[in-house]
Chain A
Amino acid sequence: GEDVEQSLFLSVREGDSSVINCTYTDSSSTYLYWYKQEPGAGLQLLTYIFSNMDMKQDQRLTVLLNKKDKHLSLRIADTQTGDSAIYFCAETKTDKLIFGTGTRLQVFP
């Protein structure tokens, strides 16, 4: 399809790991991004990965990239209640950012 797709909703227990998945469309995308949006707020850049990498780790965040399947994932280790938000993946397409549909992460105690 034409859209960058994400599952709508993910619910995890505090302390567990969360994995948010994204299927993008353009195999020539140079960078792929993960943004976090809390209610009523702007988008916070969490991390990004260059297309020639398979994995990037940044503290509790691990990004995995499978270029063959055009699949991107974000793993959050030791998920906390403050991680509750909407997470958007985004790909670069020509000179624009194309956002995924967003995944709402809910963390319960």
Chain B
Amino acid sequence: DTEVTQTPKHLVMGMTNKKSLKCEQHMGHRAMYWYKQKAKKPPELMFVYSYEKLSINESVPSRFSPECPNSSLLNLHLHALQPEDSALYLCASSQGDYYEQYFGPGTRLTVT
């Protein structure tokens, strides 16, 4: 099983809202990732968790706050977003650094 699940599938939020994106994997993977993908562009790395610790933060604005409650779960907390943050947010997991990454279906986020 190489499934990564993400909820919700779609999310519309106002600029003053607080919401969270969730990601789950049950493959025993020790690394989990958040990517942002704008239309017609490749995914851009936001955060990497390795063994439940934040190992990479690609200079992402503080209105995005990641959390890794355990080895199977990854959250992305959203607060005071801007319309330009509207995008597809993808979660991925891998056995570890340098291993192939498996992606979830994504959350389509619209900020109004």
Contacts and interface: CB of A to CB of B under 8 A. Distances in A.
A35 B6 CA distance: 19
Given A42-B90, A43-B103, A99 B98 contact: no
Contacts of A30: 98
Interface string B68-81: 00000000000000
Contacts of A35: 103
A82 interface: no
Interface string A23-47: 0000000110101000011111100
A99 B105 contact: no
Interface residues of A, number: 20
A42 B56 CA distance: 22
Contacts of B45: 96-97
B32 interface: no
Interface residues of B, number: 23
Nearest to B105: A42
B103 to A, nearest CB: 4
A48 B2 CA distance: 15
Contacts of B55: 95
Contacts, number: 47
Given A95-B48, A99-B42, A102-B42, A45 B101 contact: yes
Interface in B35-90: 40-43, 45, 48, 55-56, 90
Residue among B2, B42, B103 with the most chain A CB within 10 A?
B42
A38 to B, nearest CB: 10
A92 interface: yes
A64 B101 CA distance: 21
Contacts of B42: 88, 99-102
A41 B9 CA distance: 10
Given A95-B56, A96-B45, A99-B43, A44 B103 contact: yes
B33 to A, nearest CB: 8
Contacts of B2: 45
B29 interface: no
Nearest to B90: A42
